[in-house]
Structure formats: structure tokens, C-alpha cells
Amino acid sequence: MVEATGTPLDRVDGRLKVTGAARYSAEWDVPGLTYGAIVTSTVAHGTVRAIDSTAALRAPGVLTVLTHENAPRLQPFPEKVNGSLFRGEGGITETRQPLQDANVEYAGQPLAVVVADTLERARHAASLVRVTYEQRPPELNITASSRRTLPETFTGNKEEKLQVTVGDPKVALAAAPVKLEQVYESAITHHNPIEQLASIARWETRNGSEFLTLYDTTRGVENMQEVVSNSLSVPKENVHVICPFIGGAFGSKGWLFAPPLLTAMAARVAKRPVKIEWRRQDMFAVAGQRAATRQTLSLGATRDGKLTALQHDTQTHSSQSSGYTEPCARVSRMMYAVPNLGFAHQLSHLHLPSPCPMRGPGETVGGWALECAMDELAAELNLDPVELRLRNYAETNPETGKPWSSKHLRECYARGQELIGWSKRNPKPRSMREGNTLIGYGMATTMYPAARRPAEAKATLFADGRALVQSATHELGNGAYTIFRQISADGLALPVERVRFELGDSALPNAPTSGGSATTATIGPAALAACRNVLGALKRLAIRDAQSPLYGATEDALEARDGRLVRKAAPTQGEEYGTILRRAKLPSLEASGEAKPGDEREKYSFYSFGAVFVKVRVDELTGTIRLAQLCAVYDVGRLMNPKTAHSQIIGGVSMGLGATLMEETHYDQQNGRAVVRNLADYHVPSMADTPNIQVEWLNIPDPHISELGARGIGEIGCVGTPAAITNAVYHATGRRFRSLPLTPDKVLPT
């Protein structure tokens, strides 16, 4: 049988998605459903003096209005949930429980929920709630904040310190023959998945005990179950979180607990199922964001281009009730062989909404700054930008000294140059032109940490020859349904048509929040373990069954092949799985499996790598930039499905394009309200912005990460692209741009 893993299988959920049958969180038809609408704070800092719900309560169809005065009490967030630091500096989430007090910490903060019989009536009644405030001036500026901290770690991970010095960068910088110091700034950006946040909460009493069913746009059903049950003081097993499809997340929808908690509270008080679908406007306040950054990059080098020192200092911001810190040095800490390396992160707590991870957290904007600085250094040294990177190629991880699990970045550079025609460009800036436009070529290195986490799965063989494999992971466009079916089919030696993979339900075997490009390396091995275990159980059945041709064999002497168990030594001797089960009068046979990273993490440093090359057209007289072509080559280990992988990569690339050229959320500098709060003003790339994209991969299995040899690919496309574009704009115009995004007003020469 041909292995399914690695083949370009069409998405198995494709038919559901193209017919509109895939069911997203706002779409469950729950009887007696009512609708919640949110009242949000119009000010950014202060205290609610009074909330007058009288008019709202009198409006037709209104069932209840929840405010901090009458909402159920919630338990505070735990310190840590499933290993991630929640509270404190560097913590991953906003720990402000909704409707528990009168404090206002950012504009758009939920202050009340109105529940009514129809969506229209709920929304309208919400506009009738009158809130008066004791206002205080908001702090909105990174560099002028009164509450600044230096978080020690990113989300409590001891492997990821945020304040690090290796060697003596200060001294080395002072002594460096060539020095470069520049400040790079990036804007606040929003994930803006096309599916808006939504939850449906339904409470029931079963055997005298309260049960909550929660349909929520979450890529962390297990974390959600944990946090919601803890917050509401309900046993964990009485909370059921369901999410079989997510309409995009990109870092959002993972650590957002206030939206479902508000829904659950509203449903409890209204005594009816409640749905809250958040408006796009609200998502600029409650759905997380990538914080703005101000990064100072200092490079020291020898005249022949060897880096002697690298210092990368970041100023960024969070809200009053989150310690989330954009880890901008993620690329700087590992990319180049530099003996003196330092980085620091300073966090300002502002009266702005809470940030959270966004595709390539730290890498996207931190890598942009580093790779732009490298381009500037190359120009300073009159070196080809690729050559400068090769001269500083890191053979081992410069921070930890560990060898790489697998690194083939040189091949990526070489192939990328070929694809774009790097050698045919005139390396001189501002030397290439077509009609009204300047032409520029640029490149950047990209990377992504190859994480892996513990996970569990369950495999069930049915007597009719079909199989089911389950794990509480998520489908957010990553192709989880498809690739885990492929992997499971191989694990069970069955054709993919006979295997189903289920996910998106807290009742399924444990799996972590889907993020950090870790899902394939995490769930794949767990699924394989479950498959192995169920086949082991089946072997034991056959071995003990006198009627089986496999009777009396040892387990080791048997193998699964094409839906049959056979003797390795004599493959014609064997029988189909179903035959074994039917004779045993078993409709099905199931087994669990778990998998987790081992001591390989102590020995090796796990990263994916890549090189991005772009060609841009710059219409300088209007400041307009278009991408003509983007060629990228990635070393991401073995591919599970080249078709879905290609899609994920081009998606990442486009999000990088958006961050570079157009994405920016402004908050009014007087009152802290989002001024950009819809998809007409917040520009995400449209089809018209899309260049010709050529993506290749080396497809070299990582020998250490897991038996699948696959590292993740969700984010690496987003990293690298911004610097490649920015460097190409420099090549086109001869001008450096150190502030994202490169909107026409900035690019236009003044």
C-alpha cells in the first residue's frame, strides 16, 4: 500500500466547506436560543459610576441585562493552566474576569450584556444602556508609560528568557570595526480572522447537577474547559466545549476567555441558551492584537562581515491586566553565529486592549528588524546580502551551544536565488526601472521554532473495516482533519477512505491548544501511538484465536499490511481486521495512545529555516508598492501533505505582506478608542495585492523531532516576508524604511 502521508490528498473536509455545510461556532441550531449583545466602555481609563439599564430592560424582547452589579461572581484565573503562565509579567492572557468590578482599563472593554429574543432587539437594546464614568486620563504611549516592567520569561517558559546576555555585547560593540545601530518600529496589528468571535452557551440540569455546553470559537477546547469550569466553579467534567471548525485564528481565539464567560454567565442568568457573536468593531478590543514595538538593533562586525556583537532591545506594551510580551528577540537569539549576544524586553502597561500571540509572535516583527539591519550592514560592507548571511551562518545555536536537529538553510538560500533570478538583478540600489515604477529585489532569512507538546489520542477499529481516530485538537484551516487522517491511515495500514479523524471537542483525548506551529509534531505521534496500540490489541486477539491463521504467533512476528494482520515471514498468511473482530463478536476495538517529546530536546535545538526572495514595484510618486513576485524555499522537515502545506505557507506569506504594506490599527491618542475598527479601514491583503508566489521546500525529514520527521509550517511563511519586502523597497528606491507598515504616505518622498 502506498503511504498516505506525504501525498497531496484533497482536504477531507473540503466538501463540507465548499457546500456551506461545515458548522462553525455561531451556527449551532440550539432550541430556544436567545441573543446576547455587548455594551462596551467608551472611555479607556476610569471607573463606571453608574449603568442605567432601565430603557434596555423596557425594550421589546429583552430578557435580562447583566452588569458588574448583578453578574454571577467568577473565580480569579489560576496562576498557570496546562503549563502556560497566565498571571503576571510575561503571562499569556488577559486575566481580567469580565463584569466583576467597575474598573475600566481600555476602551471597548465589555461592561454589560443584554439578552433578548432576537439579534436585532439585543443589539438595539444594548445601545440603550447608559453608562456614566469617572474618567481618568489614559496612558497610551510605550515610551511615556508610568508602569514599565522587564518580564523574565515568555509565558513562563524557562527555556525562553526575555532578558539575556551571552558574552559581552557592550564591550564588543564598542570595539567593533563596523557598527550599526538603528531603531525599527512596528504598528499594532490585528488577526482579523474572517470568522468573528462567537459563543453559544447552554446550561442544563442533569441528575441534579449543572452542565454547560459551550460552542466557542476556540483553538483550545481543553484550556477553555479548564478555565471556564474554574471561573464558574463548576466541575470540569460538567463543562463541554465543542468546536469542530474555526474560521481562522492566526494567534487569536486561543487565549480569549472573557467572550465565552460572558456568554455562559448570560445564559445562566437568562435561563436560556444564549449566543453572542461579536461584532467586527468589538474584535479590535477583545480579540487580541499584536502589540506595537520599538526595537533597537545594534550590530558590530569585522570589515569582512563577521558579526562580533548583536544587541536587540525591545520596547512593547500590554494592557493593565495582561503581562503578554511580544518576544522580539526570537530570531536574533539563534540566527547568526555571534559570540556576544544580548537582548532585553521592556513592557509598558497601557490603557489599550490586551495583546496576544499573532502569527509568528516575536519572529514576524523582531525578525523583520534583525533582517533589515543585516541588509543595512551588507550595504555598509558592500557585500551581497546573501553572502553576509553565509559568513555568519550558525552551525550551532549561538545562545545555547546545542547542535541543530536538522538545518539545511544554505540550500534554501541557493535555491531561492535561482528562483528569483538574484544574480540577474543590478545590485546597485535605485538602478532598476520599468515605466513609472522602480524595481527592487530583496531577501531575508526566515525561521520558526519547532515545538512539540504532549498529547493523547484514541483509535477505534470497527468490525466493518473502518476506523476512527480522535484527539481534542483543532481544525483552523491548518488541514488537521486531512493530515491526521493521512497519518492515522498509515498508522493503521488502512486506506484513507476507511479512516476518520475527529477533533474539536473537550470530551476527546487530551490535546493542547493549537498554536506555535506545533500541531503536526504534537498530534501526529499521539495518533500513531494510538494506532499502534489498537493494532497490538488486535494482534493479541488473533494470536489467542484458534480459528485464526495467526493463532499462536508472537506479536513481533505479525505486522499490519493493507488492512490485514499478516505474518511477517509469510505475508500471505493473515486476515482482515474485521474478520478478527467479527469472530470475536466485537463490534469494535479501541485503544489510547500518548506521545510526548523526550530527551532529544535536551540534546538538540529544533528550528525550521527558510529564505524569502521578493521582487517589488514601487511607484514612488504616489508611494505605492506592489509585489511582483515572491519566491521562498523552506527547510521544514518532512511534509505531511504538500497541497495543504503549500496553502498554509502562502497564507503566512500574505499575512507577512499585509503586516509590511498595509496593516495598522490606530487608537486615538486622546481618548484611546480604536480609530481603525472595521475591515474597510483595517486593510488585510486582497486578491489584487497577491503576487506570483513560488514556494518550494527541501522535504528533508528531521531525524530527531518525532518519528514523522515533520516540523510545523503554520507561521514560518509570515516570518521573513516583511524584511524581504522592506529590503526590496530599499533596493528599488535607495531609501530605508524602518517603520511598519510601509503605507504610501511614508514611502512618498517628502
Partner 1 sequence: MPDELQPLLPTGATVPNCELPDGTRLHELRGQPVVLAFASIDWNPAQVYQSEIFTRLLQEFDAGISSLEARTTTWHSLDWHSEAATQLGVTGQRALLLLDEQGVLRWQTTVTPGQEIRPGQVLAALEALRPPMSVTGEAPAAAGGVSRRTFLTATLAASALLLLVGASTAAEPVAATKNHPPMLPTPPADTVPITLTINGKTHRLEVEPRVALLDALRENLHLTGTKKGCDHGQCGACTVHLDGQSALSCLTLAVMGEGRQITTIEGLAQGDDLHPVQAAFVKHDAFQCGYCTPGQIMAAAALVQDKQKRSAAEIREAMSGNLCRCAAYPNIIAAIQETQTA
Partner 2 sequence: MYPFQYQRATTPEQAVAAVAKVSGAAFVAGGTSQLDLMKEDVLRPSLLVDVSPLPLKTISAFEGGLRLGAGVSNTAAAIHPEVQARYPAVSEALLAGASTQIRNMASMGGNPLQRTRCPYFRDPAQPCNKREPGTGCAALKGLNRVHAIFGASTACVATHPSDLAVALAALDAQVQVTGPGGTRTIAFPDLHRLPGDTPQQDTTLVPGELITSIDLPSFTGRSHYLKVRERASYAFALVSCAVALEMDGKKIRRARVALGGVAHKPWRVPAAEALLAGKKPSEKLFRAATEVAFADAKPLEHNAYKLTMGRNLMLRALLETSGLQPLQGPAGTAFAASVGGVGGE
Out of 648, 706, 727, 733, point to the residue binding partner 1 (CB under 8 A). Answer: 648
Q: What beta strand segments (E) does 117-255 contain?
A: 130-135, 148-149, 164-166, 178-186, 198-206, 209-216, 239-242
Please report whether residue 609 would count as binding partner 1 according to CB under 8 A: no
Q: Candidates 263-271, 312-320, 443-451, 687-695 — which segment interacts with partner 2 by CB under 8 A?
A: 687-695
Per CB under 8 A, which region of 254-262, 334-342, 374-382, 576-584 contacts partner 1? Answer: 576-584
Identify which of residues 188 and 496 has a Cβ nearer to partner 2 in the complex: 188
Tell me how far apart the alpha carbons of residues 690 and 477 are, in angstroms, rounded to a whole number: 19
- 259-318 positions binding partner 1, by CB under 8 A: 272, 277, 279-280
Q: Give the residues across from 209 on adjacent strands.
A: 206
Residue with Cβ nearer partner 1 (11 or 312): 11
* Least distance (Å) between residue 653 CB and partner 2: 12
Cell for 520? 503536526
From 60, 76, 137, 703, residue interacting with partner 1 (rule: CB under 8 A): 60
715 is catalytic: yes
For residue 695, CA distances in Å to 60, 367, 643, 645, 650 come to 56, 20, 11, 10, 8
Q: Which of 277, 326, 376, 715 is catalytic?
A: 715
Number of residues assigned to the chain: 750
C-alpha–C-alpha distance, residues 660 and 230, integer Å = 40
User: φ and ψ at 288, to 5 degrees?
Assistant: 85, 165
Whether residue 346 contacts residue 268, with contact meaning beta carbons closer than 8 Å, is answered with no
Distance CA 389, CA 674 (A): 40
Nearer to partner 1, 463 or 639 (CB): 463
With respect to partner 2, which residue has the nearer C-beta, 301 or 438?
Answer: 438
User: Is residue 118 a contact point for partner 1 (CB under 8 A)?
Assistant: yes
Residue (of 506, 267, 255) closest to 357 by Cα position: 255
Please report whether residue 675 would count as binding partner 2 according to CB under 8 A. Answer: yes
Chosen from partner 2, partner 1, none, partner binding at 619 (C-beta under 5 to 8 Å by type): partner 2
Min separation Cβ 270 and partner 1, Å: 11
* Residue among 36, 90, 151, 244 that touches partner 1 (CB under 8 A): 244
Contact between 434 and partner 1 (CB under 8 A)? no
Query: Of residues 162-191, which lie at the interface with partner 1 (CB under 8 A)?
Result: 191
DSSP designation for 244: S
Strand 558-561 to 564-567 pairing: antiparallel
Residues 390-449 that bind partner 2 (CB under 8 A): 436-437
Candidates 142-150, 246-254, 385-393, 563-571; binding stretch for partner 1 (CB under 8 A): 246-254
- End-to-end CA, the chain: 65
Report whether 398 contacts 392 (CB < 8 A). no
Give the one entry of partner 2, partner 1, none that residue 629 binds, where binding means its C-beta sits below a cut-off of 5 to 8 angstroms depending on kind. partner 2
Q: Is 677 in the site for partner 2 (CB under 8 A)?
A: yes
At 294 the three-state DSSP class reads strand
Chosen residue from 229, 318, 513, 629 binding partner 2 by CB under 8 A: 629
Unique residue bearing C-alpha cell 538583478: 425
User: Could you say whether residue 628 binds partner 2 (CB under 8 A)?
Assistant: yes
Site for partner 2 in 263-282 (CB under 8 A): 281
What separation in angstroms does the CA of 312 have from each of 54, 69, 360?
Answer: 54, 46, 17
SS3 656: helix
Choice from 201, 267, 526, 662 touching partner 2 (CB under 8 A): 662
Q: With the C-alpha atoms ordered 669, 675, 681, 685, is the resulting torsion angle positive or negative? A: positive
Nearer to partner 2, 246 or 742 (CB): 742
What phi and psi values does residue 282 have, to the nearest 5 degrees? -70, -25
Give the binding range for partner 1 (CB under 8 A) out of 149-157, 295-303, 339-347, 687-695.
687-695
CA angle 405, 511, 80 (to 5 degrees): 90
Shortest CB 665 distance to partner 1, Å: 15
Q: How far is the CB of 604 from partner 2 (least distance, A)?
A: 39
Backbone angles phi, psi at 660, to 5 degrees: -80, -45
The Cα 617–Cα 626 span in angstroms is 5
Question: Among residues 685 and 712, whose Cβ is nearest to partner 2?
Answer: 685
- 681 contributes a contact to partner 2 by CB under 8 A: yes
- CA torsion sign, 354 to 355 to 356 to 358? positive
Active site residues: 715
Chain contacts with partner 2 (rule: CB under 8 A): 42, 107, 120, 123-124, 127, 281, 436-437, 617, 619, 621-629, 661-662, 666, 668-671, 673, 675-678, 680-681, 683, 685-692, 743-745, 748-750
